[in-house]
Structure 1
Amino acid sequence: MNKKVVVIYSGGMDSFTVLHRAIEEGFEVYALSFNYGQRHQRELDYAQRVCDKLGIPHQISDITAINGLLQGSSLTSNDIAVAEGHYSAENMKSTLVPNRNMILLSLAVGYGVSIGADQVFYGAHSGDHTIYPDCRPEFVDAMNEVTRIANFEPVEIHSPFLHQNKIDILHWGLERGLDYGDTWTCYNGRERACGKCGSCVERLEAFELNNATDPLDYE
């Protein structure tokens, strides 16, 4: 029997690629998405659609009650505009949701223990290290230390692209013919992607540097 893993699956291109990597590596995948009141909830629709297509067990956990505790980010506070520009810019720190990955990973590890999974996969990568502290290698290492203490059943937190960037992630997926039209990246939850927020800018850059065309529609 294949080993079970939980994949934190937002519906974005990074977690979409991680999901397919876990499948390729032969794991029995359980996808887990979170509705924490994020502005870009459209990503959850994409996640559900992909999991339905693949026939993968998928849970969308409604944790919107914590939204009021995670204010101060443009992704959770409606009164803060989504920053535009590249992730290298200082203003992109406004997209940092306080303690998000520690919260989501803790819930995912709990889910993993309950179903007998050995690992939790999530899509941290090197392009996030400057802006997001909870995507850095030292954070992943520390979380793994904590999970070993917190549970009798060991569940490893695994970030397969931790030392690679979004360009590398997309390259891996394109080599395998993945359809990135099945992903939503934009931080604005409008009908079409804005093309200006940090997430869109980085995505478009990744496609350009891979000599590929992004299948999403942009404003």
Structure 2
Amino acid sequence: DSLIRCIVCVEEFNVSSHRPKVLPCGHHMCTPCLENCIGRDVNQCSVCNKTFEATFAEDINTALENLIGYVSQLKVYYSQTKESILTEAQKEINHLHSTTSTLEIFVYEKKNKVARKEVEIKLLRKEIDEDNKSRDEALNEISENKIMMDQIKEHIEKINTATDENSIGVNISKLEEKIKTLKEHVKCIEEKYTTEPAFVRQNMTEEDRDILNM
């Protein structure tokens, strides 16, 4: 960095106002500083204090000047490249933010969908349990119906085969009682199995209801 700066004012050399001039001692000064130095009684280097002739101050270090011009071009190039890269990077960051927001919405919707499905599965399991329970109860009812029908058939057979009036009367009384019981039983079955069953949804929790309504 010291090669491209004046040893006096520490300004960077350029090809216009601060052109690099080389002293006999090898040190460099910019044109304004060298002109100020030449105006003194003794022309002396500010670094090593060696004196030099005023006429020597006209020498321009063209090699250094060319290097400075090249460095300046590089600075401009890298500055433009830097801005271009930063702009592109910011553009990609914005795009990434947008994509992330889309993914977050997707995850939120899928999460709610899964939650709804879980509630529906839970309700379906309850409904299946209720159906299994109703099925088992219906099977028990069928068994009871068969037993009652067999008992009625038995009393009918006894009535048909009885020889004395007393036996017939007893079996008729028992048959009437069985018929009455059967009617009540059939009525209960009809009321139970023809009434619209209560929906499982009526017994769900508030949390489950909120999830299903999302």
Considering the TM-score relative to the shorter chain, is it more than 0.5? no
Relative to its length, the structure with more helix (as a share) is 2
Query: Taking CA–CA contacts closer than 8 Å with sequence separation of 6 or more, which of the two structures ends up with the larger relative contact order?
Result: 1
Q: Give the alignment's TM-score, normalised by structure 1.
A: 0.18
> Which is strand-richer, 1 or 2?
1
Bigger Rg, which one: 2
TM-score (norm 2): 0.18
